[in-house]
Amino acid sequence: MSPQETQKTVLIVDDDPSVLAVVERILNRQHYLVKTLSNGAEAFKTAKALRPDLIILDVVMPGLDGVDIAGYLQEDHTTVQIPILYLTALDGSGSAPAAGALMATHVLNKPVNAEELITRVRELTNAKK
């Protein structure tokens, strides 16, 4: 990273500690500043305070799931411009209620492919206004 570039911040919200660790490690190696949360309850408040360049949300979590959190983020003027990348183990068959809500959004399947993750994170953080 050159001195002129500002380091991008990514907020990751996933209830699986192993997923958090893997994604955090991948992004740290690419020089992203990473903040992790293990539940959705703190995600909205943290996003408002941190104003990250990207939020990576697990779709299925106890309590507030990724789709619920995204709804709150999209309704708030301070967070509406933050891009969201969903992580999911859903197979896209529509068997889970959230599957339909994700059809037109940025989605990566679990287990995470490092190259695909890096590509998508770069695209989304560079597209942020």
The domain limits of the chain are 9-127
Q: What are the tokens at 41?
A: 């309850």
Q: What is the pTM of this model?
A: 0.87
Residue written as tokens 């197979």?
91
The pLDDT value given to residue 65: 87
- Tell me which DSSP letter residue 66 carries: H
**How does strand 84-88 pair with strand 54-58?**
parallel
The pLDDT value given to residue 92: 52
CA gap 35, 12 in Å, rounded? 6
The pLDDT value given to residue 52: 97
The pLDDT value given to residue 113: 95
Fold of the domain built from segment(s) 9-127: Rossmann fold (3.40.50)
Point out the residues of the chain with pLDDT beneath 70.
Answer: 1-5, 90-105, 128-129
Query: Bridge-partner residues for 12, per DSSP?
Result: 36, 56
Q: Which residues of 13-24 are buried (b: 16+ CB within 10 A; e: fewer)?
A: bbbbeebbebbb
The pLDDT value given to residue 105: 67
The pLDDT value given to residue 93: 47
